[in-house]
Amino acid sequence: MSALVQSVVQTSNEMQHQLIARATEDAEFRAQLVADPNNAIKQEFGIDVPDYIKIQVHESDGSVLHLALPIGPNVELDEERLEAIAAGLCCCG
């Protein structure tokens, strides 16, 4: 993975951690994040999510856990995708 892609993924991961932390502490924000992730992200970061990015929020419970894998090491990203990841809008190509 190139240094640029690695940096972009790190930024995205940091934003995801911030969203998770806020959703853990704030039940109203959590409900908004589940129901309308684009609006919750705009509220938290002031970022408009582009139409080509689909965000799905899944809540884990006692019997089902969700794992999101980051971009694989051989994925080539175009400039538009790199900018979206840098803005924390997605973590995959």
Q: What is the pLDDT of residue 93?
A: 41
DSSP calls for 17-73 = HHHHHHHHH-HHHHHHHHH-HHHHHHHHH--PPPTT---------SS---------T
CA separation for the pair 53, 91 (Å, rounded): 10
Taken as a whole, the chain contains a residue count of 93
- The reported pTM is 0.65
Q: What is the pLDDT of residue 79?
A: 72
Sequence spans of domains, the chain: 3-86
pLDDT per residue of the chain (93 residues) written in tens, 0 to 9: 555 555 555 677 788 899 999 999 999 999 999 999 999 999 998 888 888 888 889 888 889 888 877 767 766 767 776 676 666 555 444
Q: What is the pLDDT of residue 9?
A: 55
